[in-house]
Chains A and B, each alone.
Chain A
Amino acid sequence: GAVVSQHPSRVICKSGTSVKIECRSLDFQATTMFWYRQFPKQSLMLMATSNEGSKATYEQGVEKDKFLINHASLTLSTLTVTSAHPEDSSFYICSAFHRGGASTDTQYFGPGTRLTVL
Chain B
Amino acid sequence: GENVEQHPSTLSVQEGDSAVIKCTYSDSASNYFPWYKQELGKGPQLIIDIRSNVGEKKDQRIAVTLNKTAKHFSLHITETQPEDSAVYFCAATLPGQAGTALIFGKGTTLSVSS
Instruction: Give the size of the chain A interface in residues (CB under 8 angstroms).
Output: 26
A67: CB under 8 A from chain B?
A: no
A79 to chain B, nearest CB (A): 14
User: Chain B 71-106 against A: per-residue CB contact (8 Å), 1 yes, 0 no?
Assistant: 000000000000000000100000000110111111
Shortest CB–CB separation between residue B12 and chain A, in angstroms? 16
A42 touching B106 in the complex, CB below 8 Å, given contacts A107-B99, A108-B46, A109-B43: yes
Q: Please pick, from B32, B43, B98, B105, the residue contacting A111 in the complex, using a CB distance under 8 A.
A: B43
Interface residues on B, range: 20 to 34
Q: Which chain B residues border A106 with CB–CB below 8 Å?
A: 32, 34, 46, 49
* Contact in complex: B44, A114 (CB < 8 Å): no
Residue with the greatest number of chain A CB neighbours at <10 A, chosen from B32, B34, B46, B101? B101
Closest to B44 in A: A109
| A85, CB-defined interface residue at 8 Å | no
CB neighbours (8 Å) of A51 from chain B are: 98
Q: Complex Cα distance A32/B98, Å?
A: 7
Closest to A45 in B: B104
Q: Report A27-60 CB contacts with B as 1/0, cut-off 8 Å.
A: 0000110100000001110100101000000000
Q: A51 to B98: give the CA distance in the assembly, Å.
A: 9
Pair B98/A97 contact, Cβ less than 8 Å: yes
Determine whether the beta carbon of B99 is less than 8 Å from that of A111. no
CA distance A49 to B103 in the complex (A): 13
- Tell me if B106 and A43 are in contact (CB < 8 A): yes
Verify B105–A43 contact, CB threshold 8 A: yes
A107 to B34, Cβ gap below 8 A? yes
Q: Is the CB of B32 within 8 A of A49?
A: no
Q: Is B61 an interface residue (CB 8 A)?
A: no
Contact of B89 among A4, A43, A97, A114 (CB under 8 A): A43
Q: Assess whether A1 is in contact with B46, with CB atoms less than 8 Å apart.
A: yes
Proximity bits, B46-79, A CB within 8 Å = 1, else 0: 1001010000000000000000000000000000
Selected from A1, A42, A93, A105, the residue in CB contact (under 8 A) with B99 is: A105
B4, closest chain A residue (CB): A43
Interface string of B1-27 (1 = CB under 8 A from A): 000000000000000000000000000
- Complex: how many Å from CA A95 to CA B46? 11
